[in-house]
Amino acid sequence: MNKARLKQAERWFLSRYPGGFADPELVAIGKKHRLDKMQDFVVEHFAKKRFRNTDELLENWVKLVGRASLVSVFEKPKFRDLIKSLTPKEKNRMTAGLKAQLHGDAQKGFEQILGVLLAYKFAKWSIISLAPVYANPQIEVFVKPTTAKGIITQFELENLYYRPQPSWDFYEEFRKQIQVMRESVHPSLAPNSPAFTGFLMMALRAGEKPLAER
């Protein structure tokens, strides 16, 4: 990690938003993402007992994706249609995968969901990393391809090579390095994982040149 660039990004961000994510402008923006409400939705509708009803669980998964500001408007209807086209066996695999991802063996669940998505040529990072980050926004990460690639390049993260096809190895390493980066900046920039990656995304968009050179 290029810590100098990270600290430069921190200084730029705090000069613009002195209160970090407590800054009134960012608080207003944050309300549009409804993190608290999305987290409450996941806690309620994806509790262990909810997995007894496969169809209801999948309906709620479609609702989650549909309501998530983190997911592209183009991917939402495609995910809805994918769920509708699943066979009973595939529905069971998807729900079992999500249950493991949220309540058991996260790697096993990740790979089980991935297997179904690959069969439909819809293995999207936005789908596979969405529920976990709402369930546990302090630990899990949402992988947005453009942002992830930019973070890796701009801040020179080692041992990370982005690929369009999701993989557990990448997710685990990306999550680990994001946590290290969070611990290196002022707490106001990292109240949770989505906010911190939002800060990094805004820093990337601040200009084409690396921040350290601006």
Kindly give the parts of the chain with pLDDT less than 70. 207-214
What is the C-alpha radius of gyration for the chain, rounded to an integer number of angstroms?
A: 18
Task: Give me the numbers of helices (H) and strands (E) for the chain, helices first please.
Answer: 12, 0
Which two three-digit tokens encode residue 51?
Answer: 């997995």
Same domain, 56 and 28: no
Please check whether residue 142 is in contact with residue 193, taking contact to mean a CB–CB distance below 8 angstroms. Answer: yes
pLDDT per residue as tens digits for the range 62-94 = 999 999 999 999 999 999 999 999 999 999 999
Same domain, 115 and 41: yes
Same domain, 117 and 86: yes
Structural domain contains residue 16: yes
Please check whether residue 41 is in contact with residue 66, taking contact to mean a CB–CB distance below 8 angstroms. Answer: no
pLDDT score, position 208: 44
How many structural domains comprise the chain? Answer: 2
Same domain, 12 and 45: no
Those residues with Cβ within 8 angstroms of residue 42's Cβ, 6 or more apart along the chain or in another chain: 64, 102, 131, 134, 135
Same domain, 52 and 120: yes
Same domain, 98 and 150: no
Question: pTM score, two decimals?
Answer: 0.90
Domain boundary, last residue among 124, 156, 181: 124
pLDDT score, position 207: 52
User: Residue 185 sits in which domain range?
Assistant: 3-32+138-213
Please check whether residue 195 is in contact with residue 178, taking contact to mean a CB–CB distance below 8 angstroms. Answer: no
pLDDT score, position 213: 44
Same domain, 152 and 85: no
Please check whether residue 145 is in contact with residue 80, taking contact to mean a CB–CB distance below 8 angstroms. Answer: no
Please check whether residue 196 is in contact with residue 187, taking contact to mean a CB–CB distance below 8 angstroms. Answer: no
Q: What one-character DSSP code corresponds to residue 17?
A: S
Same domain, 51 and 101: yes
Q: Alpha-carbon distance 142 to 128, whole Å? A: 9
pLDDT score, position 212: 44
Same domain, 181 and 198: yes
pLDDT score, position 182: 95
Domain boundary, last residue among 67, 100, 124: 124
Same domain, 45 and 120: yes
Those residues with Cβ within 8 angstroms of residue 92's Cβ, 6 or more apart along the chain or in another chain: 54
Distances (CA, A) of 144 to 19, 43, 45: 25, 23, 24
pLDDT score, position 205: 77
Q: How many CA atoms lie within 13 A of 127 on its CB side?
A: 32
- Quick one: how far is CA 128 from the chain centroid? 9
Structural domain contains residue 84: yes
Same domain, 25 and 49: no
Structural domain contains residue 130: no
Same domain, 50 and 105: yes
Structural domain contains residue 132: no
Structural domain contains residue 98: yes
